[in-house]
C-alpha cells in the first residue's frame, strides 16, 4: 500500500524518532474529527458509502474533476447559472491543497496552502463567502526575520513600524521603502484586472467576430491603464518582469536582511533562485493580493485554509451543486466523429476508478495540465504538436512542507519573550536561514546539484498565534515551508526513512540556531516532500503552482500557446485549475474565469 503520512514523534529526553505509517488512512482522526470536516459531512456525499447511482441517474450539464478551491469555485458559478453540476473529488475531503486536516489529535493543520491573500475580491463578494463562514485574520506585524548574529527585522502594514525597524539597518533604506511599496502598488493597479480576465487569444481552431471583439476590449483596457504610468515607471516594470529579483532589490536597497526578507516572495514554491531572470514577477505576484481591501496583506483563515474551500463549497451547494468525495476519475470519455473531412473530438463524460461512467455535456478539470492531458485523456486524441507542448511544461519544485504540533512557542534569541502568550514575532511569517540573498542562492545551488539544501531557508508560520480554534490551549500549530528539496535526489530517495529523518532534523536544528530548544517542543510532525505533494494532492512534480510561473508560462502562454483561454483541443473539456491563467495560489480566478467560458459556449 502507498505511504500516506510519515510522522516523527518526540520521545522521552527530547529524542526524535521516525514513525512511518504504511497505510492509506484518512488524515482526520475518526475519534476527534475536525469541525470543518464535520460540517462538510452534512452536504457532501461519500461515494464509498452511498455508491454512484446518484451520479449516473442523469446526464449532467457539467462535471468538475477535482474538488480543490478552483474546482469548487467553477462549480459554484455554474450552479448559480442554473446548470446541473457535480464535483468529483478523489480524496476523502474537499479542498485540494487548501484543506484543513487533523493530523494530530486536537490539532487542525492547513496541510498544504497555509496563508491567504490572493483570493479574488470578486469571488469573495459574488459567492458571499463571509456569509458562508469565511473569516480572515490579518497579521500585524506580518514578517519577522531574525539573523544569526542576534538582530531582527519586523515588518508589516504599519508604516511607522517599518521605518523604525528598517532604520536599525539603513536610514537610506527606511526612507526609500515607501517609494518601493508605492511603485509596486502602481504595477498591481495595472496588472490586477488581468487576473479576472480570460486571455485574449483566439483558440487555434476558432475564429468568431465575438472572439475578436473580446480580445480587442482586453488589450485596449490594458493599454489605457498603461498610459497612466510614466516612462520611468514603465521601464521599472519591464525590469521587474524580466530581471532577477536580486538585481531589482540591489538597485533599491543596501541592507542584506531587508533584501533577503523581500526576496523570499520571488522564489517561494519554485526551483528558481533570486538570481533567476524573471523572478521579479513572482515577487509581484505575491503582493498583488489583499485582505479586507488592503493590498499586499496576507492573513490566516480561522479554522485553517480548509475554511476557504468550505465556504466556497457551501456557496456551491446552496446554488444547487452536488459535491462528491472518494470519487476518483481515471479517464475522460470521448467520442470522435468525422466532420468536414476531418476528425472532431468531443467529451461525453468521465469514468471512475470502479468503472462507473458518468455522462456530461461539459467537463472542467481542476487537475494539472499533465494529469489532465497525459493521464486522463487517451494519447491518440491530441496532436503530436499539442502533446509535445504539454510535455514541455516545467513542473520542477524545490518545496517541502512540514506540519508540526508543538507544546511551546519558539523563543528567539534575537527577541526576548517571556510568558505563554504569542509575541509580535510569532504573528507573521518568520524567515529563517535568510540573512542575505546569497544564503538563498547557496541553498538553491545544492538542490540544482541533486541534494537537499545543506542550509535550507524556511518560512515558518504559527497560525494558532491568532487562531485559538486549531490547537489545544497552550499548544500550537506550526507550518514550515522549506526550500530547496529536489524531486529526484542524486543519492538515495525520499522513500528512505533515514534520508527523510535526516532532512527533518536539519530543518529543526536550523530553527534551534535562532530559537534554542525548539526541537524539544515538537510533539509530532508530518513531512511532505515534492513526491509526497504529488501523491497526496495531485501536484505534478510537487509544484504548488501547477507549473512554473516564469514569463514564458503566463497569460497567453499558460498552459501552452494557442490554448490559454481555458478551452482545450477536446470540445467540451476545459481547464479550471492553477495550471491555467492567472496561475497558482489560492485565487479562485481560474475557476471563475473557466466557468464564464464554459457558460458562454453553452449560449
Residue located via cell numbers 467540451: 572
Helix (H) or strand (E) holding 238: helix 231-242
- CA–CA gap between residue 445 and residue 320 (Å, rounded): 50
Confidence of residue 29 (pLDDT cuts 50, 70, 90): very low
pLDDT at 36 over 80: no
CA proximity to 506, closest of 490, 487, 529, 488: 529
CA proximity to 586, closest of 402, 352, 181, 310: 310
pLDDT score for 300: 97
Classify each residue of 289-303 as buried b or exposed e, where b means 16 or more C-beta atoms within 10 Å of its C-beta: bbbeeebbbbbbbbb
Span 478-496, pLDDT tens digits:
999 999 999 999 999 999 9
Confidence of residue 219 (pLDDT cuts 50, 70, 90): low
Span 519-575, pLDDT tens digits:
999 999 999 999 999 999 999 999 999 999 988 899 999 999 999 999 999 999 999
Contact in structure between 196 and 581 (CB atoms under 8 Å)? no
The neighbour count for residue 166, using CB atoms within 10 Å, is 24
Q: What are residue 5's phi and psi, to 5 degrees? A: -140, 140
pLDDT score for 217: 62
- CA–CA gap between residue 579 and residue 543 (Å, rounded): 10
Distance of CA 456 to the CA centre of its chain: 20
pLDDT at 10 over 80: no
pLDDT score for 41: 53
Span 279-293, pLDDT tens digits:
888 888 878 888 888
By the 10 Å C-beta count (0-12 exposed, 13-18 middle, 19+ buried), 346 is classed as middle
> Is the sign of the CA dihedral 422, 424, 430, 434 positive or negative?
negative
Span 107-120, pLDDT tens digits:
999 999 999 999 99
Confidence of residue 30 (pLDDT cuts 50, 70, 90): very low
- CA–CA gap between residue 544 and residue 527 (Å, rounded): 15
Contact in structure between 49 and 325 (CB atoms under 8 Å)? no
Inter-CA distances, 248 with 177, 236, 440, 448, Å:
13, 9, 16, 23
Three cell numbers, residue 575: 481547464
- CA–CA gap between residue 99 and residue 303 (Å, rounded): 10
Three cell numbers, residue 249: 532589490
Percent of the chain with pLDDT over 90: 75
3-state SS of the chain: helix, strand, coil percent to 5?
Answer: 40, 20, 40
pLDDT at 27 over 50: no
Span 314-372, pLDDT tens digits:
999 999 999 999 999 999 999 877 766 667 788 999 999 999 999 999 999 999 999 99
The domains located in the chain, with CATH, are: 1-25+140-169+399-483+488-528 (3.30.519), 35-99+116-135+304-394+543-602 (3.50.50.60), 177-288 (no CATH)
Three cell numbers, residue 62: 457539467
pLDDT at 277 over 80: yes
- Mean residue pLDDT of the chain comes to 89
Q: Look at 6 and 544; give whichever has higher pLDDT.
A: 544
- CA–CA gap between residue 328 and residue 323 (Å, rounded): 13
Inter-CA distances, 318 with 80, 315, 321, Å:
9, 5, 7
pLDDT at 147 over 60: yes
Amino acid at each position: 500500500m502507498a505511504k500516506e503520512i510519515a510522522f516523527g514523534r518526540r520521545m522521552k529526553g527530547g529524542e526524535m524518532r521516525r514513525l512511518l505509517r504504511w497505510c492509506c488512512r484518512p488524515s482526520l482522526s475518526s475519534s476527534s474529527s475536525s469541525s470543518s470536516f464535520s460540517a462538510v459531512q452534512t452536504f457532501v456525499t461519500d461515494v464509498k458509502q452511498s455508491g454512484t447511482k446518484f451520479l449516473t441517474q442523469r446526464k449532467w450539464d457539467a462535471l468538475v474533476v477535482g474538488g480543490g478551491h478552483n474546482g469548487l469555485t467553477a462549480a459554484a458559478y455554474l450552479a448559480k447559472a442554473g446548470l446541473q453540476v457535480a464535483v468529483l473529488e478523489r480524496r476523502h475531503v474537499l479542498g485540494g491543497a487548501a484543506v484543513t486536516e487533523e493530523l494530530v489529535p486536537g490539532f487542525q493543520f492547513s496541510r498544504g496552502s497555509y496563508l491567504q491573500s490572493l483570493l479574488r475580491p470578486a469571488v469573495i463578494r459574488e459567492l458571499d463567502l463571509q456569509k458562508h463562514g469565511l473569516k480572515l485574520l490579518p497579521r500585524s506585524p506580518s514578517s519577522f526575520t531574525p539573523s544569526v548574529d542576534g538582530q531582527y527585522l519586523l515588518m508589516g502594514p504599519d508604516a511607522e513600524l517599518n521605518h523604525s525597524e528598517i532604520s536599525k539597518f539603513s536610514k537610506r533604506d527606511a526612507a526609500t521603502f515607501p517609494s518601493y511599496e508605492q511603485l509596486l502598488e502602481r504595477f498591481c493597479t495595472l496588472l490586477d484586472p488581468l487576473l479576472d480576465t480570460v486571455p485574449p487569444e483566439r483558440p487555434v481552431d476558432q475564429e468568431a467576430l465575438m472572439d475578436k471583439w473580446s480580445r480587442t476590449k482586453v488589450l485596449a483596457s490594458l493599454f489605457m491603464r498603461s498610459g497612466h504610468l510614466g516612462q520611468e515607471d514603465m521601464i521599472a516594470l519591464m525590469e521587474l518582469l524580466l530581471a532577477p529579483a536580486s538585481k531589482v532589490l540591489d538597485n533599491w536597497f543596501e541592507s542584506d536582511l531587508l533584501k533577503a526578507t523581500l526576496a523570499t516572495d520571488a522564489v517561494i514554491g519554485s526551483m528558481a533562485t533570486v538570481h533567476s531572470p524573471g523572478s521579479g514577477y513572482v515577487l509581484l505576484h505575491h503582493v498583488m493580493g489583499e485582505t479586507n481591501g488592503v493590498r499586499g496583506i496576507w492573513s490566516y483563515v480561522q479554522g485553517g485554509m480548509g475554511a476557504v474551500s468550505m465556504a466556497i463549497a457551501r456557496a456551491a451547494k446552496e446554488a444547487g451543486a452536488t459535491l462528491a468525495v472518494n470519487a476518483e476519475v481515471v479517464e475522460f470519455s470521448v467520442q470522435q466523429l468525422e466532420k468536414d473531412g476531418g476528425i472532431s473530438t468531443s467529451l461525453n463524460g468521465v469514468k471512475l476508478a470502479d468503472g462507473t461512467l458518468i455522462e456530461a455535456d461539459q467537463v472542467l478539470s481542476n487537475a494539472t495540465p499533465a494529469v489532465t492531458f497525459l493521464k486522463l485523456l487517451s494519447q491518440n486524441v491530441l496532436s503530436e504538436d499539442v502533446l509535445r507542448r504539454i510535455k514541455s511544461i516545467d513542473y520542477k519544485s524545490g518545496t517541502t512542507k512540514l506540519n508540526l504540533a508543538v507544546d511551546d512557542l519558539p523563543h528567539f534569541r534575537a527577541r526576548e519573550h517571556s510568558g505563554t502568550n504569542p509575541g509580535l514575532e510569532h504573528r507573521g511569517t518568520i524567515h529563517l536561514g535568510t540573512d542575505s540573498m546569497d544564503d538563498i542562492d547557496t541553498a538553491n545551488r545544492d538542490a540544482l546539484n541533486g541534494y537537499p539544501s545543506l542550509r535550507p531557508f524556511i518560512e515558518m508560520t504559527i497560525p494558532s498565534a491568532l487562531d485559538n480554534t486549531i490547537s489545544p490551549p497552550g499548544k500550537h500549530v506550526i507550518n514550515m515551508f522549506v526550500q530547496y528539496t529536489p524531486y529526484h535526489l542524486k543519492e538515495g530517495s525520499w522513500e528512505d526513512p533515514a534520508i527523510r529523518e535526516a532532512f527533518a532534523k536539519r530543518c529543526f536544528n536550523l530553527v534551534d540556531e535562532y530559537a534554542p530548544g525548539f526541537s524539544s517542543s515538537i510533539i509530532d510532525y508530518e513531512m511532505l516532500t515534492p513526491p509526497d505533494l504529488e501523491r497526496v494532492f495531485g501536484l505534478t512534480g510537487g509544484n504548488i503552482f501547477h507549473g512554473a510561473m516564469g514569463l514564458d508560462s503566463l497569460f497567453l502562454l499558460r498552459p501552452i500557446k494557442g490554448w490559454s483561454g481555458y478551452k482545450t483541443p477536446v470540445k467540451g473539456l476545459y481547464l479550471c485549475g492553477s495550471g491555467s491563467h492567472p496561475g497558482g495560489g489560492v485565487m479562485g480566478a481560474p475557476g471563475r474565469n473557466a466557468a464564464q467560458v464554459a457558460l458562454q459556449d453553452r449560449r
